[in-house]
């Protein structure tokens, strides 16, 4: 959306917060953190720390009713990807104002991978006020 009259107060400055959570091969609807009502996720980053044995290992991140809402099938490659955005695996709930507190769960699909493919996810968000969105 184009800002018609930008100034020192508009668009409003925002302070972001983050949650950093571990991803394990044993995650199966595993509770990782809670995001608060009115949060808007503005960034999702993966820091892979251990190589996967095959590229078949992947994980989802979301909550009940939207289990792929934050990350949808992020592939843990056979070479450590280091620190990267979720890219095309970004879920549909990123950028959407949360209507309630959300218990974030992770599910890892091992596939043919026999080891590795673990790391951390950084979820960046801000808390929007009543009736506010990204650009309010």
Tell me what the mean pLDDT of segment 62-75 comes to: 97
* pLDDT above 90 as % of the chain: 70
- In the chain, the DSSP E strands lie at 17-23, 28-35, 39-50, 58-63, 66-75, 82-85, 102-109, 118-127
Name the average pLDDT for the chain: 91
CA distance 66 to 97: 14
pTM assigned to the model? 0.90
């Amino acid at each position: 959306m184009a800002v018609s009259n930008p100034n020192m107060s508009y668009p409003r400055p925002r302070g972001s917060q983050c949650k950093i959570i571990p991803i394990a091969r044993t995650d199966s609807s595993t509770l990782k953190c809670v995001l608060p009502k009115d949060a808007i996720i503005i960034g999702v980053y993966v820091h892979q720390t251990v190589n996967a044995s095959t590229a078949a290992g992947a994980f989802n991140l979301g909550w009940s009713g939207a289990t792929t809402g934050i990350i949808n099938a992020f592939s843990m490659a056979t070479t450590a990807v280091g620190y990267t955005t979720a890219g095309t695996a970004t879920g549909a709930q990123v950028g959407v104002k949360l209507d309630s507190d959300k218990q974030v769960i992770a599910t890892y699909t091992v596939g043919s991978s026999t080891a590795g493919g673990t790391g951390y996810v950084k979820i960046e968000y801000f808390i929007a006020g009543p009736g506010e969105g990204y650009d309010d």
